[in-house]
Structure 1
Amino acid sequence: MSNSGLPFDDIRALMAHLPPLDAEAAAAIRARDAQLTKPPGSLGRLEDIAAWLGAVQAKAIPTASRPLVAVFAANHGVAARGVSPYPASVTAAMVSNFAAGGAAINQICGHLGLGLKVFELALEIPTADITVEPALDEAACAATIAFGMEAIHGTDLLCLGEMGIANTTVAAAVYAALFGGEVRHWVGRGTGVDDAGYARKVAAVEDALALNRDHLGDPLEVLRRLGGREIAAMVGAILAARIERVPVILDGYVVCAAAAVLHALDPDALDHCVAGHRSAEGAHGDVLERLGKKPLLDLGMRLGEGSGAALAAGIVRSALACHTGMATFSQAGVEDRG
């Protein structure tokens, strides 16, 4: 691999010029919040969410009128190692189910008024088996990141989701490479593997780490060697959202693997993101602590599809509705006793 002109250089250059959150917009929102017809602080985290939205969007009056759940679907060569009780063909079947409106995420989006887009990432061509060779070459990984960057235009609140048989295995490998520690700490049961399947899953992650041990000091190398197309695309989506000042709601274990790559590159890279929920999968709670994210929900979910992020979007939009719709004390003719 050449040492100059690498596709990843463009990613690093973008990372060096991320727009900061707007403190003035956040201050204006908090000033208005102090005048609303409620005791100070009585809406708890909803007040913080409203200020965060304004800071990300650089608007004293933020919006969330075009919310989008973006689900990225991909297949993984490591699935052939028996790390999931389901065959890789289930990924395409679930994409068809999304299109037919039959999945959980369809119901949540319909009920909450959220847009939904599903992006298929070459399902017929799984990434390479990470126990044998890197998942992607650098050019393909960078191109997939770029695809994710182009996928999120037209929204003012982005919820990220994913679908891919065996993607909890590659996510665990990414976490183990980035954070270290015992592999078993990062490997969960995914879609419900039995004990033998769990042992194969742990072994697969261990083998992948051993194969790539000399190349895991760079988070982008971790991504391309151990990750998958959906994780790479979500890296791009998160990055583009920051550049375009779009707030992001992260879903569960696999989505946060993409976030963890960016966090490893720059701890401030996720300031425009909130954690929608704490998944019951693997060590997601540990991941969120390392990312500095307190989840909005903790419902014992581990479905993926963006389901937890979509539910959390209802909370985020409610926080904004309270902030923009409530009367001030002067408007309501109510005496403000602080």
Structure 2
Amino acid sequence: MHAGFSTLADLAARLRDLPAPDAAAHEAARVRDAQLTKPPGALGRLEDLALWYCGWRGEARAQVSAPQVIVFAGNHGVVAQGVSAFPPEVTAQMVANFEAGGAAVNQLARVAGARMDVHALDLERPTGDISTGPAMTEAEVIAALRTGWEAVAPETDLLVVGEMGIGNTTSAAAIALALFGGAAGEWTGRGTGIDAAGLDRKTQVVARAVAANAGATDGLEVLRCLGGRELAAMAGAILRARMMRVPVLLDGFICTAAAACLEGTQPGALDHTLAGHVSAEPGHARLLERLGKDPILSLGLRLGEGTGGVLAMGVVQSALACHSGMATFSEAGVAGG
């Protein structure tokens, strides 16, 4: 499927015409669940996960066969404001580590049986400093969105998108502040592990960034002005997945902030997504609450890369293994069905 957008107006039009889940498949899956060899509701949220997945895939007895993990990397001009404990060179170094299979997300993707792809977006050319003006031009954000769109494999049936980008928790905090308001300190955390003075400086930078881009209120404009190339690519991949009716498990604060830009433009744009986990980054739980997303896992993670989303893949795979593989009462010859 061609991206079909060359401007943010084109993309906004795409967002107004999104596919819905298959109601008949969802109902058939619900009927099947009621006949399985277990008391009603005995598998708790696993049952809800299975029905959600079956509805989006249009199959009453669906299984995950081609999960995909995509990590996008980008660099941020706002790093010059001293918002990170690490220099921007680390982004490229970590991309090499992903490509060599040495990062945490590589190991988790392997356990989940997921294909993993890595896309570095113009690392030698950081985005603009959001504390003084927009991160990207319209052409730049469209190019990043299209990279994400095109990165989703045709056979993918469950998607996690992750990121790497020194300074990107600053962008995520600014996006959350612009979309949902409040105080900068409510959305700003220590990211890579900055000290108290660094946190105060970062909080001030987040507030200045939103003020410097006060004209951005629509979600896509917020993404252009306050995001990064990797955040835009994640949003593009999440939108492509919706067009393909592929369920998505959101990762941490940065991924969720990128996704929130779609929701900020078109309510319901994230109906095909669930929160894989809630991270230790303080703004993440608040952002999930604003989006109405109940996390599957809570493990104190704050690494990013897609790690929490990939861990949740295993829960969804298990939910579907039970839903699609269990016998019904009649098949098993068990009384009580």
Query: Which residue pairs with 2:310 in the alignment?
Result: 310
Taking the aligned partners of 2:113 and 2:241, their CA distance within structure 1 comes to 21
Alignment of 1:280-319 (within 5 A): 280-319=280-319
The 8 Å contact of residues 72 and 164 in structure 2, kept in 1 or not, is answered as: yes
Query: Which residue pairs with 1:93 in the alignment?
Result: 93
Are residues 112 and 9 of structure 1, via their aligned partners in 2, closer, same or farther at CA, if it must alter by over 3 Å? same
Query: Which residue pairs with 2:69 in the alignment?
Result: 69
Alignment of 1:245-264 (within 5 A): 245-264=245-264
Q: What letter is aligned with 1:164?
A: G
Unaligned stretches of 5+ in structure 2? none
Taking the aligned partners of 2:222 and 2:108, their CA distance within structure 1 comes to 33
> What is the TM-score with the length of structure 2 in the denominator?
0.96
Q: What letter is aligned with 2:180?
A: F
Alignment of 1:212-251 (within 5 A): 212-213=213-214, 215-251=215-251
Query: Which residue pairs with 1:275 in the alignment?
Result: 275
How far off is 1:105 after superposition?
Answer: 0.8
Query: Which residue pairs with 1:206 in the alignment?
Result: 207
Unaligned stretches of 5+ in structure 1? none
Taking the aligned partners of 1:80 and 1:180, their CA distance within structure 2 comes to 25
Q: What letter is aligned with 1:76?
A: H
Query: Which residue pairs with 2:56 in the alignment?
Result: 56
SS in 2 for 1:283: helix
Alignment of 1:25-36 (within 5 A): 25-36=25-36
Taking the aligned partners of 2:283 and 2:324, their CA distance within structure 1 comes to 37
Query: Which residue pairs with 1:151 in the alignment?
Result: 151
Taking the aligned partners of 1:119 and 1:171, their CA distance within structure 2 comes to 19
How far off is 1:62 after superposition?
Answer: 2.1
Taking the aligned partners of 1:112 and 1:241, their CA distance within structure 2 comes to 19
SS in 1 for 2:270: coil
Taking the aligned partners of 1:196 and 1:21, their CA distance within structure 2 comes to 47
Taking the aligned partners of 2:282 and 2:94, their CA distance within structure 1 comes to 22
Taking the aligned partners of 2:284 and 2:138, their CA distance within structure 1 comes to 27
Query: Which residue pairs with 1:45 in the alignment?
Result: 45
Q: What letter is aligned with 1:157?
A: L
Q: Deviations over 1:259-280 (max 9, x none)?
A: 1111111221111001000011
Q: Deviations over 1:69-89 (max 9, x none)?
A: 111111100011110010000
Q: Deviations over 1:237-278 (max 9, x none)?
A: 111100111000000000001111111112211110010000
Q: What letter is aligned with 1:152?
A: V
**Number of aligned residue pairs:** 332
Taking the aligned partners of 2:264 and 2:118, their CA distance within structure 1 comes to 27
How far off is 1:136 after superposition?
Answer: 0.2
SS in 1 for 2:246: coil
Taking the aligned partners of 2:143 and 2:109, their CA distance within structure 1 comes to 29
Alignment of 1:92-171 (within 5 A): 92-153=92-153, 154-171=155-172
The 8 Å contact of residues 63 and 324 in structure 2, kept in 1 or not, is answered as: no
Q: Which moved more, 1:57-66 or 1:226-235?
A: 57-66
Taking the aligned partners of 1:253 and 1:217, their CA distance within structure 2 comes to 20
How far off is 1:133 after superposition?
Answer: 2.2
The 8 Å contact of residues 250 and 256 in structure 2, kept in 1 or not, is answered as: yes
How far off is 1:6 after superposition?
Answer: 7.6
Say what the alpha-carbon RMSD is for the aligned residues: 1.2
Taking the aligned partners of 1:202 and 1:43, their CA distance within structure 2 comes to 42
Taking the aligned partners of 1:333 and 1:59, their CA distance within structure 2 comes to 25
How far off is 1:312 after superposition?
Answer: 0.2
Taking the aligned partners of 2:13 and 2:319, their CA distance within structure 1 comes to 34
Taking the aligned partners of 2:270 and 2:218, their CA distance within structure 1 comes to 18
How far off is 1:331 after superposition?
Answer: 1.1
Query: Which residue pairs with 1:321 in the alignment?
Result: 321
Taking the aligned partners of 2:233 and 2:299, their CA distance within structure 1 comes to 27
How far off is 1:63 after superposition?
Answer: 2.9
> What is the TM-score with the length of structure 1 in the denominator?
0.96
